[in-house]
Amino acid sequence: MSNEWNLAPAAESTSSAEIKERYELFINGEWQAPSDGNYFETISPASEESLAQVAAAGQKDVDRAFEAANAAFKPWSALPAAERGKYIYRIARMIQERSRELAVVESLDGGKPIRESRDIDVPLAAAHFFYYAGWADKLEYAFPQRDPKPLGVAAQIIPWNFPLLMAAWKIAPALACGNTVVLKPAETTPLTALKLAEIIKDAGLPPGVVNIITGAGETGAMMTAHKIPKKLAFTGSTDVGKMIYKAALQGNKKVTLELGGKAANIIFDDAPIEAAVEGIINGIYFNQGHVCCAGSRLFVQESVYDQVLMKLKRRMDQLVVGDPLDKNTDIGAINSKSQLQTIEEYLEVGRAEGSEIYQPECELPEIGYWCRPTLFTNVAQSNRIAQEEIFGPVLAIQTFRTIEEVIDKANNTPYGLSAGVWTDKGSKIFQLTKAMKAGVVWANTFNKFDPTSPFGGYKESGFGREGGIHGLSAYLDF
């Protein structure tokens, strides 16, 4: 049989996605032009076409945003908590109502497959607002013998891998706890956060409660150095996270950091192999591997190594790389040109270190930023591709014989965000999940997220939790 049975194109219509030519800054409930008059382009990484001009916030804009948030804090925190919660419920509902549009824009701006933005990013963002809305009038039950109070203004900086979802993770608990916020999305993916600003305006939130400003790292630095915020919340790289931690210490601000990772995904010989292979694929190729908790280090018990590798390669051969807006696409576009360069450098590093590379021979579009799903075998623990966060669809495979050996290897990293373990034996699951120095451990599953489940790291993957009851204390003063 020939391999002509290719999937027919199944492109999602973009007609629902209205993108303005130019976006201003959302400050004090209004769209305000940047005082320096600077704008930057946001492009589609799949087509390299410009999607919109976006305002670059300078110092005066950052000042205005924090002043608006500061002025809004007193009345917002003084609202009856149930009323505060109802505003947040409204946001959740409006995200659901505009879910199709948000999903399309997310995939256009960031390059992720529409299947993921439609089924994961947008529903989870709505669920996050819905979950924390309900906490607003129940905070005193969460902390026995304590008197929880809002902190004030929060400065929040989020990355480009889950733009809308990270905005939800940051804004929802902050508002529920009675704070006001200034949020900055990443410069390559500002559009869904700006759509969220439209929703927040439509929901009738009092002006200044949520301010969304756009810009690059310099704008972020102005935010973290600013006098007004009492709280810094950051998701992103460990290097930038350390700078933000320092700014927080120097400014005597509360801080939570959700930083990089290099998760171990551990397959034992008694694992359900077919399910484990799906878990490996989902662990590292979900969202092009642009996931801080990606299962980028695979540890396979020696006795099943050949079998797992064969099935894994066969599964990789079936992955569809291409148009993010095609519903059949498994792996979309790499988020930016610079990230593609970073990934390609690591591919070179892997080869140079003596590891063997495997990539399926799938066709790639000629325009846009693409990377085939990649795995490396013959990887040593000390190799850079086994130590450093690549943030791309690149898997480093190692083998092990004993439980003790794999626990040592898995924990031998400065990171500690997540881990995965696959085995059919319950007691072994708990031995491993207890031994992993990681904030999120998936057993016989991977890359699952839920607003009720706290997420965050050990060690240099940061501290503080987002989600669940534990996510509240990040935004409260006691």
Partner 1 sequence: MSRLNIQKTYKLFIGGKFPRTESGRSYSIENDKGALIANMCHASRKDFRNSVVVARKAQAGWAGKTAFNRSQILYRLAEMLEARSASFSEEIQLLGSSKSDADKEVVDAIDTLVYYAGWCDKYTALFSSVNPTASAHFNFTVHEPTGVVAAVAPEQNGLLGLVQIIAPIICGGNTTVVLASNTMGTSAISFAEVVQNSDVPGGVINILTGVMSELTPHMASHMDVNALVIARIGLSDESRDAVIENVKRFADWSTSEVDSNPYRILDFQEAKSTWHPVQTSTGGVSGY
> Which stretches of the chain bind partner 1, using CB under 8 A?
127, 144-146, 238, 241-243, 245-246, 249-250, 257, 259, 414, 429, 433-434, 436, 438-445, 448, 450, 452-456, 458-463, 465, 468-470, 478
Q: Between 375 and 438, whose beta carbon lies closer to partner 1? A: 438
258 is catalytic: yes
The residue from 292, 371, 389, 460 that is catalytic is 292
Q: What are phi and psi of 227, to 5 degrees?
A: -75, -30
Q: Between 268 and 458, whose beta carbon lies closer to partner 1? A: 458
Least distance (Å) from partner 1 to the CB of residue 102? 19
Q: Between 161 and 238, whose beta carbon lies closer to partner 1? A: 238
The residue from 24, 258, 389, 460 that is catalytic is 258
Least distance (Å) from partner 1 to the CB of residue 419? 10
366 is catalytic: no
Q: What are phi and psi of 154, to 5 degrees?
A: -110, 135
Least distance (Å) from partner 1 to the CB of residue 468? 6
Least distance (Å) from partner 1 to the CB of residue 131? 9
Least distance (Å) from partner 1 to the CB of residue 151? 16
Q: Between 215 and 420, whose beta carbon lies closer to partner 1? A: 420
By C-alpha distance, which of 53, 27, 50, 49 is closest to 39? 53
129-130-134-135 Cα dihedral, nearest 10 degrees? -30
Least distance (Å) from partner 1 to the CB of residue 135? 13
Q: Between 26 and 234, whose beta carbon lies closer to partner 1? A: 234
Q: Between 254 and 372, whose beta carbon lies closer to partner 1? A: 254
Report residue 118 as tokens.
Answer: 């439609």
Residues 45/336, Cβ–Cβ less than 8 Å: yes
CB atoms within 10 A of CB 366: 6
Q: Between 48 and 119, whose beta carbon lies closer to partner 1? A: 119
Least distance (Å) from partner 1 to the CB of residue 199? 21
Task: Write out the catalytic residue numbers.
Answer: 258, 292
